[in-house]
Each structure stands twice: as C-alpha cells, then as structure tokens.
Structure 1
Amino acid sequence: MDRIERLFWQNVPVRFFDWTGATAALGTPELQDELLARLHLVPSEQEIPAAAHRPKAAAAYVVRFLKALIERLEREGVELSEALYELLAETAVSVAGDGEPECDRCYFLPPAPGTQTPVSGRRLERIVLREHVAEISQGTTGLRTWQASLRLVEHLSAHREVVAGRRIVELGAGVGLLGLACRLLGAASVHMTDVDDAVLARLAGNVAINNLGDSVRTSRLDWEEVGNGDIGTLHLDPFDMIIAADVVFAPELIGPLVRKITCLLRAAAEPPLAECWVASTRRRESTFGMFTDELAAAGLTVESVAASPASWYFYDEGADSVDISRIYFATA
C-alpha cells in the first residue's frame, strides 16, 4: 500500500504502476477504504491539523488510477469496496474538457540509510507541491518537477552528511522540491531563487504549504546579473553551498549560468569550503559538454559523482540519464 501511495502522489502514469503485492495489501474492502483515505479521496478518521494543506490530485488522474486499480483487483477475484465504484462514478462526472491545468503532487523522502521503511507511508516526511500538469505552461518549464531534481534528492537522502548543517542557495528552484528536501534532510537554511515571476509566485506558495519556517526563503536572482561578488549585492543570506537541478538544457544559458556559479562560489561565506552540486538530465551531449568546458575555463574543478542506486522515485527518462556534478575551486 505504501508503494501505491507514493506512485499515486507522484502522479506516475498508471501504465507504469508496479502492482506487486497489491492483492495482499488491498485484499479486503476495509483495506481499500484505508487506501482511499490515505489518498484523500474519501474522508479520513485521522485528524488533520486545521493549518495543514490537504493535497488534491487532478480528477482526470484519479479516474485513470481508479479504473486501473479496480481492473487489477477484479482480475484477481478480490471483493471490492462499494466506495471504489461510487468514487469512480462521482469523479468521472467532474472531469470535463482537458481537465485541470494544476494538481498537487506529494514526494515522500526516502528513509534514512539503515532505517526500515515505515509500515505506513504517512510516517515518512513528504513535500507537497502545487504543480502544472503540462510540461510547458505560461511560457516556462519551471512550474513542474523534473527528474534531475528527483535523482539528486534520492542521492542526498542516501548521503545526508552532504547537506547537514549547510547554508544553501538554489539556482533555478522551480516549484521547490530540491530546496525543500535539502531543508528536511538537515540543511541549516535554504534560499531558493528563480527569475520568472510565475515560477517565483508558485515557489513561494509551495514554501508556505510545507510550513518550514524562516529557514527557507525565496527571491529573484537573474543569472545575467553577475554582481561584484559581494553577498549583499546579490541579496542573499550567507551561504556555503549551491545546488541546482535541470538547469543545463539551453546553450544560450550556459555562459550566464557558469558566470553565476563562479560569482557565487567566490562570494560564499567560506570560499575554500564552498561547493556547487548540479544534477543534469543529459539530452544533448554538446550542451552538457559546453557546460563542463566553460566551468573548467573559469578555473573550477568538476567532479562527477557516483550516484547512489535509484529505486525510490519513478523516472520518465530513466535515472541513468541524470549526471550529478560537484563543482568547486581547487585549493592549493
């Protein structure tokens, strides 16, 4: 049931669902009703704080999920809850046209190394994000989570010492998964930045939904505005680590991005110790090669990180298509 819950909230296409063990986990109407409550599809007896955000999946996705679930359980001869059929009928009626442009997605963090996965997925820390369903919306790709963020979150979850106690600045934060995850993984503070107004508005909203306090901030940061290397002129809090995911995709942005990384590493609170972690989905080898070449030309060391095995999230392009780089100024 935990795995089904995680796949559902990530909005994984139902054709890619792993239904292994579903018959045992959902073998009675009572267990099926429990799943629906955990997915916030029916009222739950579990008390939810008034201030907590109750995530809501897109109706069109709920319909596809319920159809696949019912078909699977019927095939196995499992007695089905009446609530499944009633919910499917009610939700199908509410779906009109192309469906909603936005939805809530929840990303559960992998358990810490050496700990057992909890019996209930609800005991795992999760990040709730309001995202656009389309890959491109309002002229930007920054209103949904991309797989390089998932890959870096999964790696850092297995190596929490990388971010523990760090003061982090994120470039191209988008809807906020990576930065919020770093805060939950032990970062002292996270300052998430982007440049598009619609993205910044959504980012601020997602920060508020997750209610992590003053240790998480958002602001506008334009890569074209390099600054003079002083933190004050960059409008950033003191930091000692930079993170970014899925920012290496457009050749025309490589120069500004590298200049920004170089400027920030020099402006960090402790320049000799500062480092930048970038996760990149390789789509065009020439673009990624341009990125590493320009970093080297700027005097930066680029270290390829051997990522931990990917097994927690669903990756639409394959986890092995993501490279993780550690970037820093080599000390003498």
Structure 2
Amino acid sequence: METGAETGMETGAETGAETGAEAGAGVLHSLRVSFFAMARLSSLPWTGLRERLDDDRSPTLVADVLRQTCLHPLCRKHPPAVAYRRLFLTKLIKMLEDTQSESLDEAYDALGEVLGAPGGAECYKTYFLPGGERATLLESVSLISEGTTGLVTWEAALYLAEWALDHRQVFTGRTVLELGSGVGLAGIAVCRCCRPSRFRFSDHHPAVLKKLRQNVQINRLAEETAGGVSVEELDWTAVSEERLREIGADVVIAADVVYDPDVVAALVPLLSMILRRYSTEGPAPQVLISSTVRNPDTYNSFKQQLETEGIRHEVVTGAVSHVFPYNRVDAIELIQLYI
C-alpha cells in the first residue's frame, strides 16, 4: 500500500527532476540565443552552465552545448564572427578543464576548426523572435565601417523591435516607413511578427542600402510578403512631399538616428513634413523614434528643434518584454511625435 509520505517523496523527486531538466534546457536556450546574437561573452549564462557541468559530466551535456552553438546548422550557414567563436570556445574549454570534464575532444575539434577558418570584415547575427521566427543579419564586424555606423545593429533598434513585438496592433495591416533602417533589425522583426500591409525600409548611404537589400533577401521578406516590402533610398535633405505622399505611410519608425547635430538638422524638417503632409487629407502618421541617449546635449537639442517646428513629443513609458540579449545599461528612450 502506498503511503502519503511515500507518494509525496516520489512526487517531490519527480518535480525536482523536472525542474532540473527545465533549468538545464533554459541554460542551453539562453546560451544559444546569446551566442547567435554575439552578445557580450561576459553576459552569457556561464554560472548556470558551470552548475550543470558540476552536476553532469557526461559527454551528452557537452555535445548538447556544442550542438546549440558552434555545431548548430545555423552556425554553418550564417556563422557569427570567427573571433567571437574562438573566444567562446576558449572560455568553454577552460570551464571544461576546471570541472575536470572528460568530454574535451569535441570542443577541441570545434576550436581547431575555428582557428583554421579565415576571418573577414563581415559576420552574421541571428536574433530569435517569438513563435519560432528569427531575423538573420549580415553585419560589419567593426562598429564604424566604410565611413558609417549603419552596418551594425544598435541597442535602440533592439529596443524598438521589442516594443513593436509587444504592440503588434500598431503595425498590423498598415503601411510602415522606417527612416535610417541600417541593417534592418527593427523592420525585419515588424515584418516577421506584426503583419504590416506594406513595409518601406529606407536609408541613404550606398553601403548601408546594399547591406539592407542583402538582409531583406536573406530573410526572404520580399518573397513571403507578396511584394509588400521594399528598400528605398531616401535623402532626408531632398525628399519631396510628393514622394512622401507616394509612400503613404500610416506609421513611421526610426532607431538611433539622433546621434549627431548635422543629422538632427536634416531629420527635424523631414519629420515636420511627414507629420504635416496629411494636414488637409486626414490624420497624421504615427511617428515613433527610439534613441540611445549617449550625448544629452545632442538629444536635448533634437527635442528643442522639434518644439521650434511645432512638434510635440511624448515619452512612451512601460516595460517591454526582454526578447533579445543586449546591453540595457545605457538609457534608451522611445518617443511619439504629434502636431
């Protein structure tokens, strides 16, 4: 006969095993997400992994770690930077040595493969989206390349994408224009998850436009949205009201475009034109600007110039879901503009 105490002990053991399995799966998931986004190595879940290695020194665990990262099929097709993979494996191997793991051969083989791989000026970052979707971006390995900062993903774009994923109704069935799209993370997330009727990526720098078109193709956006996605050159100092009317945006977004006084001087008149183009035709578009506040003087000057143009702003508050791994220490502000 089964006693209550025995039943409770068995249930507790089963629950503990399930909890441990879930925790282990969580560590591997977090490791994969961070690895493919090339998050700072120090931010990866090393402590949780070390605890798992202390509890489980079987070859299966090490194989699982490698299959979720360097040996994942995605790493073959769209690999993170060689230098990043080398540093990741070096740290992993040091941890395996410290835990006296006997499962080092596969890790050493993976490191040998990376050491023999040629470096390059470009790499891939992949961001995993809700519902099993993902956004893969071809980026520069340098923060500044070809005279522009537009060839990498910046934190304000990641924040804007997270906000969009929490507020999908803002974009569903609407025509969206993104200013200064860069490599395209925010726009790809909106296209993948928010179902806009049309999405217009835009930028002006030739190298950025080339990379943007590549990323739209990598993510197969044009194919999967029946022509509702396009990449367009948009010179903020020369665009006409007629051109904006042709685009016909219901929603306008931009991320990390307020970083230089000269850029701000071109941006504010454009925003004024966008907000006023419907003055006699209907409601103005919804305009959202996401910014990392690196230089308070530049950012405050942007707001003052908006006010001079008769444009009001409201800070969009409220927490967003943490979907992507990135540095959340710097202040990021999302504002909505009105006339």
Q: TM-score range by the shorter chain?
A: 0.7 to 0.9
The Cα shift of 1:17 comes to 1.9
After the TM superposition, list the runs of 4 or more consecutive aligned residues in structure 1 that deviate by more than 6 angstroms: none
Contact residue 23 and residue 78 of structure 1 kept, 8 A:
no
- Residue 309 of structure 2: which of 286, 295, 298 is its match? 298
2:228 paired residue number = 215
1:42 paired residue number = 71
Amino acid at match of 2:66: L
The Cα shift of 1:308 comes to 1.6
Contact residue 238 and residue 268 of structure 1 kept, 8 A:
no
Counterpart CA distance in 1 for 2:51 and 2:207 is 44
The Cα shift of 1:307 comes to 4.2
Residues 94 and 279 of structure 1, relative CA distance in 2, 3 Å threshold: same
2:110 paired residue number = 87
1:289 paired residue number = 300
Contact residue 172 and residue 193 of structure 1 kept, 8 A:
yes
Alignment of 1:125-144 (within 5 A): 125-144=133-152
Q: Deviations over 1:205-225 (max 9, x none)?
A: 000000022222101000101
Contact residue 166 and residue 320 of structure 2 kept, 8 A:
no
Tell me which moved more, 11-20 or 252-261.
Answer: 11-20
* 3-state secondary structure, aligned to 1:94: coil
* 3-state secondary structure, aligned to 2:247: coil
Contact residue 223 and residue 260 of structure 1 kept, 8 A:
yes
1:104 paired residue number = 124
Counterpart CA distance in 2 for 1:319 and 1:167 is 33
Alignment of 1:53-68 (within 5 A): 54-68=77-91
Tell me which moved more, 304-313 or 130-139.
Answer: 304-313
Q: Is it true that 1:242 corresponds to 2:242 in the alignment?
A: no
Q: Deviations over 1:11-70 (max 9, x none)?
A: 12312322243246674433433443343x3375xxx9xxxx921122221110111122
The Cα shift of 1:4 comes to 0.6
1:251 paired residue number = 261
Counterpart CA distance in 2 for 1:62 and 1:12 is 11
The Cα shift of 1:304 comes to 0.3
Counterpart CA distance in 2 for 1:281 and 1:43 is 33
Higher gyration radius (CA): 2
Residues 234 and 272 of structure 1, relative CA distance in 2, 3 Å threshold: closer
Counterpart CA distance in 1 for 2:284 and 2:164 is 18
Amino acid at match of 1:175: V
Counterpart CA distance in 2 for 1:236 and 1:86 is 55
Q: Deviations over 1:128-154 (max 9, x none)?
A: 000001110011111010111011112
The Cα shift of 1:320 comes to 4.8
Residues 236 and 195 of structure 1, relative CA distance in 2, 3 Å threshold: farther
Counterpart CA distance in 2 for 1:253 and 1:189 is 26
* Consecutive unaligned residues in structure 2, runs of 5 or more: 1-27
Tell me which moved more, 301-310 or 70-79.
Answer: 70-79
Aligned positions, number = 302
Instruction: Tell me the C-alpha RMSD between the 2 structures.
Output: 2.4
Contact residue 240 and residue 268 of structure 1 kept, 8 A:
no
2:7 paired residue number = none
Contact residue 158 and residue 308 of structure 1 kept, 8 A:
no
- Residue 198 of structure 1: which of 207, 221, 224 is its match? 207
The structure with the greater share of residues assigned to helix is 2
Residues 306 and 280 of structure 1, relative CA distance in 2, 3 Å threshold: same
Tell me which moved more, 85-94 or 135-144.
Answer: 85-94
**What TM-score do the two structures reach when normalised by structure 1?**
0.83
The Cα shift of 1:249 comes to 0.6
1:118 paired residue number = none
Q: Deviations over 1:153-176 (max 9, x none)?
A: 122222222222221000000000
**What TM-score do the two structures reach when normalised by structure 2?**
0.81
Amino acid at match of 1:29: P
* 3-state secondary structure, aligned to 1:83: helix
2:97 paired residue number = 74
- Residue 185 of structure 1: which of 189, 193, 196 is its match? 193
Contact residue 90 and residue 111 of structure 2 kept, 8 A:
yes
* Consecutive unaligned residues in structure 1, runs of 5 or more: 112-122
1:18 paired residue number = 45
